[in-house]
Structure 1
Amino acid sequence: MDLLVVEPLETEVMQWLESRHAVRFAPELAFEPRALRQALYNVRAIIVPPSCAIDAQALHYAPVLRAVGRASAGAENIDLDACARNGVEVVRSLTASAQAEAEFMIGALLSMLRRVPVVGSDGMLVGRELGAATVGLVGMPPAARSMSQLLGAFGSKVVGYDPSLHASDSVWERWRVRPMGLRELLETCDAVCVQLAYFSRYQGLLGDRFLPFCKPNQVIVSTAHSALFDEKALAAVLSSGRVAAAWFDSMEPGALDSGRPLAGITTLQITPRVASTTRESRLRSAWAVARRIDELLAAAPQPQRDFRPTDPSVPADLADGPVSP
């Protein structure tokens, strides 16, 4: 079998794939890990939803697998290192959801700046305009480019920080974002959008070292992994009102349970990873993944090692190549 599709795709994409390859559509395998592993034996490519784990154990059952595709944003369910070791390409679109994520963050900023009032110079509680705000982008993924364009249309000032980009990198100028250190960004900005790719070395990056220096009445939107934030430090700035409101598009399970630092904080809003999911972004992503998998399947298959049973009368040579006489 050429392709196993576990994640539902748009009808036109499925029809296109079925016209070119032997395809099995089996969404029920998303909830049956054992059956999924058993189904991988003769599969050359698979498209999986976030609920399916493709790790070293799963790859052990997939001797001819060449590609793992994911149309949904992210890849937390795929062991990238294990795939690389086994010569399996991970296929996903890094740009398909950029516009959707940018629009989500703009909507969240508009909502919080108006919904959470501040005290004006005349003593009245009033909302704020996005066009008058300085907005900081923490992380410079493809969505940051769309964010800069949309914020520019509002008239906002845009600054940014990314630990993987030097201040002299041309991307800052091309995307019209002024580079800035993280502490200076937090001290300067009226609103902050966090979209930094998560690595374990960034765990708790936004914690006691930086969050206490946030500009008063700042609002924060995050589409990044919540582990970038230290729970206690985030709870402290929200409870004190230094950060007026925060909107996270995902949160570690149990983070809001009783006894945890963020429990009961009314100025914290959580949505279940909807930023990157729109009809348009899913269609763009599905086509990008489908076309790349089609290219891989159309290529000549990789030669498989010959199976040679051990003959007790012939000494085996453990090195590659023919059996020693």
Structure 2
Amino acid sequence: MLRCAVLDDYQDVALGLADWSRVSARSYRDHFTGLDDLVTAVHDCEIIVAMRERTPFPADVFARLPNLRLLVTTGMRNASIDLAAARDNGVTVCGTGAGSTPTVELTWALILGLARHLLPEATALRTGGPWQQTVGADLHGRTLGLLGLGRIGSRVAAVGQAFGMDVVAWSRNLTKERAAECGARLAPDLDALLAASDVVSLHLVLSDRTRGLLGARELDLMKPTAHLINTSRAAIVDQDALAAALREGRIAGAGLDVYDVEPLPEGHEFRTLPNVLATPHLGYVTELNYGTYFREAVEDIDAFLDGTPIRQLT
């Protein structure tokens, strides 16, 4: 029976969400912060199931795991896996389905949480603090700016319309027709969207073209009353520039679910800035998504064992 390691099972739920009986499976709840620790823990395994991009698999990891034959990633895109190195080392890489709805919902949780100051108000209520200490920002009639109007961005746009917001969108390949289909207006350019929006929400794929898309100059174009929401990828925004803009009050706040380093290091400024509503990369962490991830991970394993791999990335 082949040995299978399930990584980054933070909630310790993976083995209970599918039938792993064809393999000898063990899960790891704690994140391996160093590659040496990862290799030591799973060197005997022929199969590894990775949760999204929590643990990277660069070329040197594949070289140090000679027993590895199958790597399954939850979702069908994982930028932290060196697919060429996997092929060179004879490792099959497969993926699973993933729903976009959970990220849409979390995006709106962050928007609403910031607009109505839910964290400080709820904390004050629990701790005996002042009864009402903030004045919430209205969403109705305000402008929602979306960077990206794909599977997630288009659904965020629909909710914005339901709240009575004016929805504008921009990406390099977005057309006026596509924007209109989603109930949005196409912004003339990125600068115009940033200057006009009361809420800016990111829904772009990280690539060479989007890495560092928002730097100090772009953040300075935003209104001082505006909020930035990032449930996409941290590297789309210059993290130092964002921290400075928040620290200096040049934007009103940020709702963040993604970070350059995860888990976010203790003492990191995003943990303590009062105008940051931060969550620990929860965008995809829901019952339905996890059920899909681990059920289909087992399907990938079964198909591989039967000699007919499915949902291959390599």
| TM-score, scaled to structure 2 | 0.72
Point out the structure with max Rg over C-alpha: 1
Match of 1:229 among 223, 237, 240: 237
Which residue of 151, 173, 178 corresponds with 2:185?
A: 178
Q: Distance in 1 between matches of 2:56 and 2:245?
A: 36
Query: Aligned residue for 1:4?
Result: 4
Q: Are the structure 2 counterparts of residues 172 and 63 from structure 1 closer, same or farther at C-alpha, using a change threshold of 3 Å?
A: farther
Secondary structure of 2:252's match? strand
Q: CA deviation at 1:56?
A: 2.2
Q: CA RMSD in A?
A: 3.6
| One-letter amino acid of the counterpart of residue 274, structure 1 | L
Q: Does 1:91 align with 2:100?
A: no
User: Structure 1: which amino acid aligns with 2:195?
Assistant: E
Determine whether 1:101 maps to 2:134.
Answer: no
> Aligned match of 1:38 in 21, 43, 55?
43
Q: Which amino acid aligns with 2:275?
A: T
Aligned to 2:129: none
In the alignment, the residues of structure 1 paired with residue 295 and residue 232 of structure 2 have an alpha-carbon distance, to the nearest angstrom, of 25
| 1:14 equivalenced with 2:14 (yes/no) | no
- Partner in structure 2 of residue 197 of structure 1: 205
- Ranked by relative contact order (alpha carbons within 8 Å, sequence separation 6 or more), the top structure is 2
Residue type of the partner of 2:112?
Answer: L
Amino acid in structure 2 at the alignment position of 1:34: V
1:153 is displaced (CA, Å) by 2.6
SS in 1 for 2:217: coil
Q: 1:159-178, aligned counterparts within 5 Å?
A: 159-163=168-172, 165-167=173-175, 171-178=178-185
Alpha-carbon distance between aligned partners in 2 of 1:60 and 1:234, rounded to the nearest angstrom: 37
Structure 2 SS opposite 1:210: helix
Cα contact 1:256–1:264 (8 A) shared by 2: no
- Report Cα offsets for 1:178-200 as digits up to 9, x if no partner: 33321111111111112322235
- Separation of aligned partners in 1, 2:153 and 2:112: 17
Identity %: 24
**1:38-71, CA deviations, whole angstroms, 9 ceiling, x for partnerless residues?**
324xx3x431245544332333356685542123
Unaligned runs of 5+ in 2: 119-133, 310-314
Q: One-letter code of the match for 1:179?
A: L
Calculate the TM-score normalised by the size of structure 1.
Answer: 0.70
Cα offset, 1:206, TM superposition: 0.8
Equivalent residue pairs, number:
281
Distance 2:275 2:181 in 1: 35
Within-5 A mapping of 1:60-75? 60=63, 67-71=70-74, 75=78
Aligned-residue offset at 1:73 = 9.6
Alignment partners' CA distance in 2, 1:184 and 1:281: 36
Match of 1:68, SS state, is strand
Q: Which runs of 5+ in 1 are unaligned?
A: 117-124, 302-325
Tell me the equivalent position of 2:24.
Answer: 24
User: Which amino acid letter does the alignment assign opposite residue 43 of structure 2?
Assistant: Q
Paired residue for 1:210, among 215, 218, 229?
218
Distance in 1 between residues matched to 2:240 and 2:302, nearest whole Å: 47
Give the 5 Å matches for 1:299-310. Answer: 299-300=307-308
Is the Cα contact below 8 Å between 2:6 and 2:14 reproduced in 1?
no
Match status 1:56 vs 2:65: no
- Cα distance between partner residues in 2 of 1:63 and 1:171: 47
CA shift at 1:101, angstroms?
Answer: 1.0
The SS at the match of 1:187 is helix
Give me the whole-angstrom Cα distance separating, in 1, the residues matched to 2:111 and 2:15: 34
CA deviations 1:272-310 (Å, max 9, x no partner) are 212221222211232343334444443458xxxxxxxxx
1:149 alignment counterpart: 158
